[in-house]
Amino acid sequence: MARVERAAEDRGWRLRHLPVLLIASVLLAGVAAVVGGVTGGADAALGAAAGVAVTVISYSLTTVVLAWADARNTQLVLPFGLALYVAKFTVIGAVMVGVASTGWPGLIPMCLGIAAGVAVWTGVHIWWLTTVHARRARG
């Protein structure tokens, strides 16, 4: 019960992990751009970095919107989460179809950047939850 009361008093807990995830994502975007540039040139570098950016924008938006909804009323989390999910994947799908229709050579690196962004964001989030957040919850 005390942990729930501490969480209610600490309004910043919903977004506390975001800076760590953003730093990891910026580092990943740099690495993705270098790898893309070395393996496929400028289009691949741009595509790989853009793919990471798509993931970061998507996940950051979700984090901020759900934190806002949870701070207002926990019953808003599900409807906002579902609506945001549908909206994001509709937009991402439309963008990917649009990019694919241009024949841009950075499309495959962009897809790989999205996949790398998902893997790194998820991995860093798990690390943060099991180390930093777990220590705070115990202390």
Q: Does residue 5 lie in a domain region?
A: no
Backbone angles phi, psi at 133, to 5 degrees: -65, -40
Residues 6+ apart with CB under 8 A from 24: 120, 121, 124
Give the separation between CA 105 and CA 69, rounded to whole angstroms. Answer: 39
Evaluate if residue 1 carries a pLDDT over 50: no
Q: Does residue 126 lie in a domain region?
A: yes
Share of the chain above pLDDT 90, in %: 79
Q: Does residue 9 lie in a domain region?
A: no
Helix (H, G, I), strand (E, B) or coil at 117: helix
State which residues form the domain around 48: 15-138
Q: Does residue 6 lie in a domain region?
A: no
- Model confidence over 38-92: pLDDT tens digits? 999 999 999 999 999 999 999 999 999 999 999 999 999 999 999 999 999 999 9
Count of domains in the chain?
1
Evaluate if residue 8 carries a pLDDT over 80: no
Q: Does residue 36 lie in a domain region?
A: yes
The confidence score (pLDDT) of residue 129 equals 87
The confidence score (pLDDT) of residue 10 equals 60
Cα separation values, 125 from 30, 57, 74, 96, 111, Å: 19, 15, 22, 26, 21
The confidence score (pLDDT) of residue 93 equals 94
Q: Does residue 8 lie in a domain region?
A: no
Q: Note whether 46 and 36 are within 8 A (CB).
A: yes
Q: Does residue 21 lie in a domain region?
A: yes
Q: Does residue 113 lie in a domain region?
A: yes
Quick one: pLDDT band at residue 12, thresholds 50, 70, 90?
confident
Evaluate if residue 130 carries a pLDDT over 70: yes
Cα angle 95, 110, 55; round to 5: 75
